[in-house]
Structure 1
Amino acid sequence: MAIRGNLSEASLADVLQLLALGQKTGCLSIAREGSFGTIHFSGGRIVHASLVNRRDRLGDRLVRLGVLAADDLTRVLATVPAHDDRELARVLIDTGAIPRETIVGEYHTQVEEAVYHLFGWTHGTFTFEPDDDRGNEAPLFSVSADSLLLEGARRVDEWTLIEKKIPSLDLIFEADGPKVAQREVPLSESQERLLPLLDGTHDVNSLIERSGLSEFEVGKAIYGLLTAGYVQRVGRSAARRQPPPESRVAEYRNLGIAFYRTGLLDEAEREFRRVLELRDADGIARFHLGLVHARRGAWRLAVDALTRAAEQPEAPAAVFHNLAFCTARLGDLAQAQAHLDEAERRAGSQPDPRIALTAAQFALTDGDVQDAERHLARARAQWGSRQPSAAWFHMAGLTAAIGGDSTRAQILLEEGLAVHPHAAPLHNNLAVVQERRGSYEAAARTAEHALLEDANCAHLHKNLGDYLYRAQRYDEAFDALVRVVRLSPKHGPDVYLKLGNVHYRRGALDEARAAWEQALALDPDNRIVHANLSALPPRHSIGDAQLEDILGDAAQVGAAV
């Protein structure tokens, strides 16, 4: 289950301790205005951390050390995902050109510096998503969160003092040569490294880039030199105050993509709109803005944004694929199919199984089970040796069930859960199939398992309540249905019908009446509810025989799927 919160209510140190004590595996994302970072855990230990748009990347550190040539770095970077230092480290280790301990040492230092930097964030939001997709890879190293907490807290305290003298990183400082020459106290290694660069032309950002030191190390070194009177502030960097448009476009775009991937849609939309203010024809920003609208269910806005992205001559297959999906949600299946055909054409010799999966969905929407099966088989073949996605198993199980083969549907869903054990929709679908086959107890157990993965899904609570009700476990069914009402008060009349029935069975006639009246508010023509209310006397109890008639009628209402 995802964990979300605000840094103004829970500090990063508190969150790290919670995840460490719980031995969690997954990705913690932290976001604030204009910045984004991640910390990855495996068994409660930190194995990776990164900052979007950070200057000091692993490759740069290795080049400064002299163990990697700049041209070689450029060639290697072309083979790994952008800004993925963890993958870069693995590729460099595999080449064997640089000692493993050197790469891991620099990578370890970089990860710790990223965590220390995040400690300074007191405002923003955080999200923890369990079972990060890297969870099955052996980490290059791991470190206890506790071992970073004390150092992180110390740096936060020191940075509070440093900020008073260095409030921004675009300030320029110059060394006082005579005073430095006459010094009686030795300088630190970091200060000695900075002195040649303190010539009145480099701002703090430039000092960080050129020295190879971290932001904290540079700030601490300058703070000490300022306090001793060895350097003085001489101005501010105009270039830093007005960064070139291309730099800002890349920064906003990277932040937007990072926010989108962690579900921070408002923040993502803000960054993509900033890109479009600078470059209206930016296809990547248009594409992702369309994805943001789609995640919100704003299909018309999504289609408009994706249509603009599709106007770019080199628009990739993914643009037309998503445009097809969103167009279908607006009901224009013919146009959606045309977009999907274009996505297939642009994919060319590298077919995307997700496109075939959408084709299966379209076929099933048209009621063509056989065609849906054909596209599902094509999608699975395109995955090759990889396991299909949870969405594939969902669609395959649904297609088999609609085709009348509940046995095969159950087999497919169980296979999917073996591969994707935390996919709540697969648990839910399996529970529905089990219920349809008359296995109410098994369905209830499966639904309960699904709720461990997504406790805020009203639909799951509704299904669980239905299964428990049919199994005559009325008290447990009542609790599940009450949670439905809390999460989604207008989920459906059947919820209030069953709640009224349980109240009635308990002899709580006023509560039963209120529940049934709420059911009528949602479905004024519901025959069973009308019958229950008409049989309910205002001041005396109903006989057992009459109660059984009412509950017998209610039991005919099917569970929502």
Structure 2
Amino acid sequence: MNRRDRLGDILVKHGKITQSQLEAAVHRQTKEHGKRLGEVLVAMGVITQADLERYMRVQIEESVYYLFTWTQGTFNFEADVRPGPQDFLVSINPESLLLEGARRVDEWSLIEKKIPSFDLIFVVDKDRIAISESQLTDAQQRLLPLLDASRDVNQVIEDSGLGEFEIGKALYGLITAGFVHRAGRTTTGADAEITDARVEEHRNLGVAFYKTGMLDEATREFRRVAELRGSDASAHFYIGLVALKQARWREAMEALRLAAEKGGGRPAVFHNLGFAYEQLGRLDEAEAAYAEAAARARTDAKVYLGWGVVALKRGDYGGAAGRLDRARELFGQAPPPAWFWARSLAAAGAGEFEQAEELAEDGVEAYPSHAALQNNFAVLKELSGDLTGAEDLVRAARKNEPSLPQLSKNLGDLAYRGSRYDEAWDAYSRAVELAPELGDDVYFKLGNIAYKRNNRELAAQLWRKALEINPKHELVKANLDTLSALS
């Protein structure tokens, strides 16, 4: 019989007796020959007769269900054999037992596609569960604390007090919903030498694929490394790097966080984790990750640049300026375009517009074909009142990077401000063609132009789109109310 089906273990796992009570009962049973363990436990007063009958039924049912998983074996039938003298007998409907067994076999054929082996280790995606509105079953709730990337399925079954089928069914649901994913597998000592060789083989292939830009293939190899050696931090690190390159921010965050938890203490782990959090909009966590990276790499200019950008996005313009200035020192004479972009915005955010314009101009001089820097410089020129200079910059930037929607929007703003509505219409239309959710103000102004052209139906459509993006836009509401009153 499977050890998990033994009555004593079943009672312990269901909290009916303690391990010490079980050991005491087993010791007492050796002295009271002929008595079954259940009878001893009842005599000790640790369980009731009703509990014993209930869990005897569970034991028998689970044992029979386990037999349904056998694909081969032998059996022996003995005629006219009767139960010996006992205090009680358990009556189970064989038809129900067979139907339930058949149902479990059918379900298990699906479950084993997700859980092909009990030596697999799974880990919970806590963030995905936190934002989900799905209701988990009691078994799934009981399972979650045990899926901590250290226990394989065998150990989860042992520690949960649930049967293999219950665990399999609960785990299958969690995996299918994306709340749980594989983190590796356990290995025996006999497999260790073979596993080491396979790990290195898959790792070397993964690195080679990564360096040649074959990212899906690289991910496949590093996932195999993680499965073979669950504690391997570098495998999760590379999986995270690939996900970053493919803009799969949540997957990158999960992989890099696992790398950090498994001992990947390199600054690059926290640097990239910070960037993943930043792309997800989780700026407080990004701040903490970048701070950890900076503490471990005090002379890495790229870390300070990323840390400064996060401060900028959090509205901490003083903190951003300090970090970015430190990055400039570490970069030397040639900081990258992102530095000029961020530092000029930090100065503007702090109200230092003259310094912001100087920094933006320095950036354009250093990188004359960089559209984002030209756009920033144009916005600052517009703020200073130099509309002609701003428009010249935007047009030049748009020529270099026609697919950047913000440039078309800014050109539209300048034309709209100068009452050149046909030009504004063309520029705004191009902007929303490139980025349909660019902003409510684009649709608001397009609606205004349509209204000026006496196309009230189109104006209403565009204003409704603006209101869809920003339900609190009061001017749009007023325009729609006016239009409704006129119709």
TM-score, with length taken from structure 2: 0.52
Do the aligned partners of 1:256 and 1:271 also contact (CA within 8 Å) in 2? no
Structure 2 residue aligned with 1:404: 351
User: Any gaps of 5 or more consecutive residues in structure 2?
Assistant: 1-196
**Does 2:213 align with 1:259?**
yes
Q: Measure, in 1, the Cα distance between the counterparts of 2:472 and 2:224.
A: 51
Q: Measure, in 1, the Cα distance between the counterparts of 2:227 and 2:412.
A: 50
Q: Measure, in 2, the Cα distance between the counterparts of 1:275 and 1:462.
A: 47
AA of the residue aligned to 2:413: D
Q: Measure, in 2, the Cα distance between the counterparts of 1:513 and 1:330.
A: 34
**Does 2:203 align with 1:249?**
yes
The Cα offsets for residues 393-442 of structure 1, whole Å up to 9 and x where unpaired, read as 11110111111122211211121122223332212222221222223333
Q: Measure, in 1, the Cα distance between the counterparts of 2:478 and 2:386.
A: 30
Structure 2 residue aligned with 1:54: none
Q: 1:303 aligns with which of 246, 253, 261?
A: 253
From the CA coordinates, give the structure whose radius of gyration is larger. 2
Q: Measure, in 1, the Cα distance between the counterparts of 2:317 and 2:288.
A: 20
**Does 2:408 align with 1:461?**
yes
AA of the residue aligned to 1:252: G
Q: How does 1:369-380 map to 2 (within 5 A)?
A: 369-380=317-328
Tell me: CA distance 1:307–1:521, structure 2 relative to 1, closer, same or farther (3 Å): closer
Higher-helix-fraction structure: 2
Q: Measure, in 1, the Cα distance between the counterparts of 2:452 and 2:339.
A: 43
Task: Classify the secondary structure of the residue corresponding to 2:213.
Answer: helix
Structure 2 residue aligned with 1:357: 305
Q: Measure, in 1, the Cα distance between the counterparts of 2:314 and 2:464.
A: 38
Do the aligned partners of 1:255 and 1:268 also contact (CA within 8 Å) in 2? yes
Tell me: CA distance 1:506–1:273, structure 2 relative to 1, closer, same or farther (3 Å): same
Q: 1:379 Cα deviation (Å)?
A: 1.0
Q: CA RMSD in A?
A: 3.2
Q: Measure, in 2, the Cα distance between the counterparts of 1:288 and 1:499.
A: 45
Do the aligned partners of 1:253 and 1:285 also contact (CA within 8 Å) in 2? no
Structure 2 residue aligned with 1:288: 238
Structure 2 residue aligned with 1:500: 447
Flag as ranges the 4+ runs of structure 1 deviating above 6 A. 537-540
Tell me: CA distance 1:346–1:538, structure 2 relative to 1, closer, same or farther (3 Å): closer
Q: Which is further off, 265-274 or 463-472?
A: 265-274
Do the aligned partners of 2:283 and 2:314 also contact (CA within 8 Å) in 1? no
AA of the residue aligned to 1:433: L
Q: 2:478 aligns with which of 506, 515, 531?
A: 531
Do the aligned partners of 2:446 and 2:459 also contact (CA within 8 Å) in 1? yes
Q: How does 1:39-438 map to 2 (within 5 A)?
A: 246-259=200-213, 266=216, 269-270=219-220, 272-277=222-227, 280-295=230-245, 298-311=248-261, 313=263, 315-327=265-277, 336-347=286-297, 351-365=299-313, 367-384=315-332, 386-438=333-385
Q: Which is further off, 409-418 or 455-464?
A: 455-464
Structure 1 residue aligned with 2:114: none
Q: Measure, in 1, the Cα distance between the counterparts of 2:465 and 2:310.
A: 37
Do the aligned partners of 2:202 and 2:221 also contact (CA within 8 Å) in 1? no
Do the aligned partners of 1:440 and 1:471 also contact (CA within 8 Å) in 2? no
Q: Measure, in 1, the Cα distance between the counterparts of 2:252 and 2:479.
A: 45
Q: Measure, in 1, the Cα distance between the counterparts of 2:288 and 2:478.
A: 50
Do the aligned partners of 1:356 and 1:376 also contact (CA within 8 Å) in 2? yes
Structure 1 residue aligned with 2:176: none
Do the aligned partners of 1:290 and 1:306 also contact (CA within 8 Å) in 2? yes
The Cα offsets for residues 231-250 of structure 1, whole Å up to 9 and x where unpaired, read as xxxxxxxxxxxx97634432
Do the aligned partners of 2:353 and 2:380 also contact (CA within 8 Å) in 1? yes
Structure 2 residue aligned with 1:223: none
Tell me: CA distance 1:536–1:311, structure 2 relative to 1, closer, same or farther (3 Å): closer
Q: 1:282 Cα deviation (Å)?
A: 4.7
Q: Measure, in 2, the Cα distance between the counterparts of 1:418 and 1:453.
A: 15
Do the aligned partners of 1:290 and 1:305 also contact (CA within 8 Å) in 2? yes
Q: Measure, in 2, the Cα distance between the counterparts of 1:502 and 1:511.
A: 10
Do the aligned partners of 2:321 and 2:346 also contact (CA within 8 Å) in 1? yes
User: Any gaps of 5 or more consecutive residues in structure 1?
Assistant: 1-242, 541-561
AA of the residue aligned to 2:468: A
Structure 2 residue aligned with 1:102: none
AA of the residue aligned to 1:323: L
The Cα offsets for residues 56-92 of structure 1, whole Å up to 9 and x where unpaired, read as xxxxxxxxxxxxxxxxxxxxxxxxxxxxxxxxxxxxx
Do the aligned partners of 2:304 and 2:323 also contact (CA within 8 Å) in 1? yes
Tell me: CA distance 1:333–1:485, structure 2 relative to 1, closer, same or farther (3 Å): closer
Do the aligned partners of 2:209 and 2:218 also contact (CA within 8 Å) in 1? yes
Q: How does 1:476-555 map to 2 (within 5 A)?
A: 476-536=423-483
AA of the residue aligned to 1:253: V
AA of the residue aligned to 2:477: H
The Cα offsets for residues 426-467 of structure 1, whole Å up to 9 and x where unpaired, read as 122222212222233332332233333433332332222112
Do the aligned partners of 2:287 and 2:311 also contact (CA within 8 Å) in 1? no
The Cα offsets for residues 259-315 of structure 1, whole Å up to 9 and x where unpaired, read as 27xxxx656544543554565555444223223434555544323211222245564
Q: 1:497 Cα deviation (Å)?
A: 1.7
AA of the residue aligned to 2:456: L
Structure 1 residue aligned with 2:72: none
AA of the residue aligned to 1:463: N
AA of the residue aligned to 2:438: H
Q: Measure, in 1, the Cα distance between the counterparts of 2:468 and 2:440.
A: 8
Tell me: CA distance 1:308–1:520, structure 2 relative to 1, closer, same or farther (3 Å): closer
Q: 1:441 aligns with which of 369, 388, 403?
A: 388
Do the aligned partners of 1:353 and 1:383 also contact (CA within 8 Å) in 2? yes
Q: Measure, in 1, the Cα distance between the counterparts of 2:479 and 2:282.
A: 42
Structure 2 residue aligned with 1:155: none
Tell me: CA distance 1:346–1:533, structure 2 relative to 1, closer, same or farther (3 Å): closer
Task: Classify the secondary structure of the residue corresponding to 1:259.
Answer: coil
AA of the residue aligned to 1:288: Y
Do the aligned partners of 1:441 and 1:471 also contact (CA within 8 Å) in 2? no
AA of the residue aligned to 1:371: G
Task: Classify the secondary structure of the residue corresponding to 1:476.
Answer: helix
Identity in percent = 41
AA of the residue aligned to 2:428: L
